[in-house]
Structure 1
Amino acid sequence: MSKYVKDLVTRDIKRRLEGVEDAVLVSCVGMDANTTNELRGELAEKNITIFVVKKALARRATEGTSLAPAFEGANGQLAVCFGGDDFVSLVKEVVRLDKDETKYADFVAQGGVMDGERLDADGVKAVSKWPSREEQIATLVGQILGPGATLSAAMLGPGKMLNSQLKKISEGEGDE
């Protein structure tokens, strides 16, 4: 590949990764075209982008960015996955596909980068066990609403009991 072509490809990779802070690197060498298209479709449904890069060109394209550590020590042909609702949901989806030995046997998570820190394959699997943004929000909302619901029940309980007793008295049941 000539230097001119390498520069063109490097600029294209830079453009595609512009604004991307966190990504996961996967290997999908050995997948046939139909399986690759199915994989791309599944990922696209979850707003995840995947594209194959040559590691040397990706290193050149990500020099000085937060993605640069991901390509340190990377080997072979890689695909870059980014996007999704948040990084944890991206990682959960990648790990789910990695575990699918029947349909995507050649899809393997190699590593990635999160907040400028390099992740190896085990690090990616560890991040996949974290709660996603939606799960964290649901937990937080539950913690915020929990004390209020308890207070409300404590305040309404005696009032309802008093209302019940007054109703019985007004209906003549409490005269006995």
Structure 2
Amino acid sequence: MSKIVKQALMEDLRRRLEGVDALFVVDVIGLDANATSALRKELRESDVSLMVVNNRLARRATEGTVLAPAFESLSGSAAIAWGSEDVVSLAKTLAKAVQKPEYDGVSAKGGVLDGSPLSAGDLKAVSKWPSRLEQLSLLSGQLVGPGAKLSAQLLGPGGALCSQIKQVAEAEAEGAAA
């Protein structure tokens, strides 16, 4: 490959990965063209991009970025996957694809998350984390929980006690006013 072509490929890769802070490296060797196309289509439906890269060009293209640790010890064939709404959704999508029998040749090699390198096993671990939507729903439940609990107590048996205390207080106020 000529220097001009390599430079163009590196610039294209830099442009595609601009703003990306997490990606996973997978091995897609052993997949035929039809299986690769089906995998790409399935990943695209989840807003995940998959691109086969030359290790050396990828290493040079990501030099000085948070993605560089993913390519430091990489060898052999590699494809990079990035995108989706968050890193957990990306990991879940890839973990699901790796387990399917029609994509038997796909295996995780590693990745990077916020500048920290990830091992192949980390893909499985990250895929078990709650997604952004699940985290938001847990947080909102925790924020609303105490108020809902207080409301339920005031409307339940505690509410009857509260009403009785109010009546006693009103009776005392009327007695003091008279």
TM over 0.5: yes
- Measure, in 2, the Cα distance between the counterparts of 1:159 and 1:3: 79
CA shift for structure 1 position 96? 1.4
- C-alpha distance in 2, partners of 1:31/1:73? 23
Q: Deviations over 1:87-143 (max 9, x none)?
A: 01101111111122x111011111000010000101222212211111111111111
Shift of 1:52: 0.8
Aligned length: 161
Give the structure-2-normalised TM-score: 0.85
1:125 has 2:124 as partner: yes
Paired position in structure 2 for 1:15: 15
**Aligned to 2:156, what secondary structure does the other structure show?**
helix
Amino acid at match of 2:64: G
Aligned-residue RMSD, C-alpha: 1.5
Partner of 2:108: 109
Question: Gaps spanning 5+ residues in structure 1: where?
Answer: 163-176
- TM-score, length-normalised on structure 1? 0.86
Per-residue CA deviation, residues 134-161 of structure 1 (Å, 9 max, x unaligned), is 1111111111122111111111124876
Distance apart, 1:31 and its partner CA: 0.8
- 1:2-41 equivalences under 5 Å are 2-41=2-41
Aligned partner letter, 1:127: V
Q: Which amino acid aligns with 2:144?
A: L
Q: 1:30-109, aligned counterparts within 5 Å?
A: 30-100=30-100, 102-109=101-108
Consecutive aligned runs of 4 or more in structure 1 exceeding 3 Å deviation? 158-162
Question: Equivalent residue of 2:50, what SS?
Answer: strand
The equivalent residue for 2:143 is 144
Percent identity over the alignment is: 52
Q: Secondary structure at the match of 1:111?
A: strand
Whether contact under 8 Å (2:153, 2:159) holds in the other structure is: no
